[in-house]
Amino acid sequence: MTPLLSLLLYIFRTVVARWGVYLLMVAGLTLSYAAAIVVTLYVHDELTHDRFMAQADRVYMLTARYGPPDRGLVASDRTPAGMAKWMASDVAEIDQVARIVAIEWPMRSARRQVRERFYWADPNIFKILQLPAVEGDLATALKAPGSVVMTQRMARAYFGRPDAVGLTLTTKDNQPLTVTAILKDLPANTHLDREIFVSGRGSYSMLAVFDLNPDYQWNSAYIYATFKPGADVAAVEGRLQAISRSHWRGPNNLPEGYELIRLTDLHFHPHGDGEQRPRGHVGSILALVVVTAAILALAGINFSGLVLAETQERGDEMAIRKALGARRIDLIWQILREALWVNLVSVVLALAVVERLLPALNGGLDLDLHLWRHPAVFLGVLGATVVLVTVLSGLYPAFAVSRPAANTGTGRLSALRWRGWVVAQIALVVVLLIGSHTMNRQWQYATDDALNFNGDHVVMIRFSDFPNDDADFVAHLRDLKGVESVAESFGSPTMDNVRPAWIRRPGLPLISLTRNSAHPDFFKVFQVPLVAGRHLSGTFSVPEVPPEILINLSAVKALGFATPEAALGQEIVYETDRTTMRSRIVGVLPDLRFATVYEPKGPMIFDNFSKYLTVVNVRISPTDTAGTLARIDALWSRDNGGSMPMQRWFYRDYLLDQYHDLHQQMRVFNLVAGVAIILSTLGLTGLCIFLTRRQARDLAILRALGATFGDIFVQRLTPFFVPLLIANAIAWPAAWLVLRSWLGSFAEHIPLSAVSFLGAAVTSVVFALLTVAAHSALTAGKVSVSASLRHE
């Protein structure tokens, strides 16, 4: 028999003889390895946003802050389209600069007709955003007007095949677009949210419009640039405002400042208006890493305890080996070798679990995690982790058991050790429970309570580009069965088209506000009660200065009115992006929240300026939602002649999309917390086994002296109370510190609640006691008192 086969047989026999404990070991390690793998993939995914592009670290995106001078109010990823041209002419350090403009237009092929989300793009965009191509030459693909580049996925959608170069589709006004290159599908971890790039050289493209009128709109394009080697990008950044001022010929409200963000840093950069995908948060990633490390540590400690229990159980075997001449190092190596095998089996099982779990996880959390994207690196890291966990968790029992006078199972020190073990487990569980509850409360607050309006059952429909059709559609909507109320708005209550305004008062602080335009029924649709005054009396389009406005409570305070009623009938003068306005306050609203809770709420103005209304908000009856939506779709089709695909979404879906990152964090955190709880259950069960074995004789003595099952039960529960108290005493301040820091990343957040802490404490105590009780109940009948007393 070969030594390896002999070893495997020995391990097999050992495992079979004590399958229960080994099952606990493998289950705990598998679970924690699986959690660690998932979190590692997630963290890697977050940290490698946009790095699939070659030389992504050389690419910068231009962003801007708008608002009153020296006090940017709105951070925006979109900047004036003219800046690209001005940067190219005035910044000598520029290597390449290019724009994309995000838009939605109808697109049609024989297979698909939708209102498509795509980019108008400068022809040199792929020299900067070096996306991997599978067909065609990206260097020239967008040079000709009417050329289009798309991903394989989109090519399949439009043409049923990925090799679509040379095929055509049409867009608005039947303009033909010819496919000139095919891109590899974009990964999920990119800031780009569209997969079609249409040449901006066409005369009908928005880029052409902006080239003709560079001052037309101030937040129009995403601008990317690369710089020549050695360029001082920070210095360039400082010159950009002066450059834009020297070229700008339009009305006021130029950006107050510009920032060049390295593409590889963009994902963790603070929120920007018009961001293509929600950003991530470094703090959350760090918290996940810490929790995962804690889970691995917990699994290691559990494993260590079980190995110790097992090796103590095999004390005779160890003694015989010693008697037969085994050196201490031989015994240590033997225990470590067995630990390594258990870890290897666990990690293989964990890989299988993750492989099965990933599709559901990717689908549920809108992720694109892959196990084997970088197999060599992945296996290397995993192997190193396995070795580390094996050594760290196996070394202590190995040294303890192989000590010349091994006495690991008794005495005060041992008791301290297992109590420390319980404290560590429960403290982590309590922190995670408090964290999980707080995250869920913050989620609830962000998506519901903080809004101060009711966005449920509201469908938002983007207008077509045909105002007459839209007017007919809205008029007909009001009479449609299942529709309760209808109101148009200029993006509200989303963050699209946020417009700043400000009020200067000599010697007083400047007041920043955001402007919103909506139909008077907007507040009926979103069920917003007036605090004071009346609603807007109607809509107007000419002249541009709104005669009457509503303000919110924050504005009442900022403007210095003692009460909402005091603000009624007052006129205010404010500067906007185009001109100075004077309007009369006719009503006061509560503080509505259109931005996410990452941003502070502030003073708002609502006017009824109808010129640029972009969406219609429709409150539908909660009953027969599907039927009402079908009727709305049919109405749209009828009023638009069937040529313009409809774009509609529930406000609630928009909101969830805004909190995509928070949602991901919450789900992953809940998952990790669940894993930690299961792990702790396994750990405590292992501990019970350990203690049952260690205390078997003591418990048998008590039984012989007349103790009932109830007495024994209490006897076994009692030692857990103090560790549970200590665990909570450690966990509460730790959770308080961590969560206070986490909540601090939100401009508005819930207060930390005593319910979270008490709930976690009660849950942890109940869970620990149930685990111990369950084990006691399961094992009590199986313990032979006479055997325990005789064999000791």
Partner 1 sequence: MPLISLSDIHHTYSGTAQAVPALRGVSIDIDPGEFVAIIGPSGSGKSTLLNIIGTLEKPSQGRYLFDNRDVTTIPERDLARLRATRIGFVFQNFNLIDHLTVYQNIELGLRYRRDHLRGRRELVMEAMDRVGMGHRADHLPRQLSGGQQQRCAIARAIVGQPAIVLADEPTGNLDSRNAAQTLGILKELNDKGTTLIIVTHALSQADQASRTIEMHDGRIHLSSRRLS
Q: Binding to partner 1 by residue 790, rule CB under 8 A?
A: yes
Q: Which is nearer to partner 1, 621 or 708 (CB)?
A: 708
Q: Which is nearer to partner 1, 57 or 792 (CB)?
A: 792
Minimum CB–partner distance for residue 790 and partner 1 (Å) = 7
| Dist. CA 121–CA 222, nearest whole Å | 10
Site string for partner 1, 767-786 (x = CB under 8 A): -----------------xxx
Query: Which residue from 94, 133, 297, 789 is in contact with partner 1, where contact means CB under 8 A?
Result: 789
Minimum CB–partner distance for residue 283 and partner 1 (Å) = 46
Site string for partner 1, 368-407 (x = CB under 8 A): ----------------------------------------
* Segment contacting partner 1 by CB under 8 A, of 244-252, 313-321, 358-366, 693-701: 693-701
Q: Which is nearer to partner 1, 381 or 701 (CB)?
A: 701
Minimum CB–partner distance for residue 713 and partner 1 (Å) = 12
- 399 burial (CB, 10 Å; 0-12 / 13-18 / 19+) is middle
* Residue type, position 787, single letter: A
Helices (H), 512-650: 522-525, 553-558, 564-567, 625-639
Minimum CB–partner distance for residue 702 and partner 1 (Å) = 7
Minimum CB–partner distance for residue 792 and partner 1 (Å) = 6
Kindly compute the dihedral angle of the four CA atoms of residues 76, 77, 82, 87, in this order, to the nearest 10 degrees. 110
| Dist. CA 586–CA 570, nearest whole Å | 8
Query: Which residue from 113, 187, 697, 734 is in contact with partner 1, where contact means CB under 8 A?
Result: 697
CA-CA distances (angstroms) from residue 331 to 315, 316, 320?
A: 11, 13, 11
* Segment contacting partner 1 by CB under 8 A, of 464-472, 537-545, 669-677, 699-707: 699-707
Q: Binding to partner 1 by residue 758, rule CB under 8 A?
A: no
Q: How many CB atoms lie within 10 A of CB 111?
A: 11
| Dist. CA 353–CA 375, nearest whole Å | 17
Minimum CB–partner distance for residue 703 and partner 1 (Å) = 7
| Dist. CA 45–CA 282, nearest whole Å | 13
Binders of partner 1 among residues 473 to 502 (CB under 8 A) are none
Minimum CB–partner distance for residue 288 and partner 1 (Å) = 42
Q: Which is nearer to partner 1, 228 or 790 (CB)?
A: 790
DSSP state letter for 744:
T
CA-CA distances (angstroms) from residue 172 to 124, 467, 638, 645?
A: 24, 15, 18, 11
Q: How many CB atoms lie within 10 A of CB 348?
A: 13
| Dist. CA 552–CA 573, nearest whole Å | 16
Q: Binding to partner 1 by residue 792, rule CB under 8 A?
A: yes
Q: Name the 3-class secondary structure at 270.
A: coil
Minimum CB–partner distance for residue 708 and partner 1 (Å) = 4
Binders of partner 1 among residues 407 to 426 (CB under 8 A) are 410
| Dist. CA 371–CA 352, nearest whole Å | 10
CA-CA distances (angstroms) from residue 146 to 47, 267, 298?
A: 36, 32, 60
Q: Which is nearer to partner 1, 706 or 733 (CB)?
A: 706
Query: Which residue from 93, 448, 484, 698 is in contact with partner 1, where contact means CB under 8 A?
Result: 698
Q: Which is nearer to partner 1, 530 or 701 (CB)?
A: 701
Q: Which is nearer to partner 1, 527 or 708 (CB)?
A: 708
* Segment contacting partner 1 by CB under 8 A, of 84-92, 156-164, 637-645, 696-704: 696-704
* Segment contacting partner 1 by CB under 8 A, of 316-324, 339-347, 642-650, 692-700: 692-700
**What are the structure tokens assigned to 681, written together?**
């259950």
Binders of partner 1 among residues 701 to 740 (CB under 8 A) are 701-709, 711
Contacts of 430 (CB under 8 A, 6+ apart): 727, 728, 731, 732, 735, 760, 761, 764
| Dist. CA 434–CA 432, nearest whole Å | 5
Q: Which is nearer to partner 1, 762 or 778 (CB)?
A: 778
Closest CA to 278 of 286, 270, 289, 288: 270
List residues binding partner 1 (CB under 8 A).
410, 697-698, 700-709, 711, 784-786, 789-790, 792
